[in-house]
Amino acid sequence: MSITIIKNILLFIAMVLLQAVLFNHICLFNIAVPFVFITFIMRLPLSININLLIALSFFTGLSVDVFSDTQGMNALACTILSVLRRPVLSLYFPREDDMVFPEPSLASIGMSAYLKYASSMSFVYCFLIFLIQAFTFFDPWLLILRIIGSTVITFCLIFGVECIIGTRNEKGL
């Protein structure tokens, strides 16, 4: 097995378990919920086949749904997020040939592009998951507050995770 496949399997297991055991039980002010497991989707190599990417993203969301009892909402949001991953990345880093490593990370695309990429992906996911969950615009202020709060906490935790695993992984290569 390739070292990239092993790293991605370990990242998948770690992110889903952390989300299920720790982050699903955090809800700041009954508004903001961190969704750190999307780090797995964000860090998948760009060379991966789109069908495999969608399947892996769906399976990731479904795994979190099983532990969260959210009836497929995470699976739907993760599937849509996987389709939007490359267009969002190309907004901030249009030259994929200049990447140092095959996956979008802090070390491969740089600090500025990664911060924009991570914040955009966090916003897209939080927007999708809360819109799917609410399925209505009945209380738009609460919906906006939940999206913004969860985006901020998700982005901060994703950046922290990236700083921890990114430096360790890229130094080893």
pLDDT digits (tens, 9 = 90+) for 109-161: 888 888 999 999 999 999 999 988 887 667 888 889 999 999 999 999 999 98
Residue with the two structure tokens 């909402």: 73
Helix or strand (DSSP H, E) at 75: helix 73-92
CA 124 to CA 128: how far, in whole Å?
6
Amino acid at residue number 145: L
Q: How far is CA 36 from the centre of its chain?
A: 6
pLDDT for res 145: 92
Calculate Rg over the CA atoms of the chain.
15
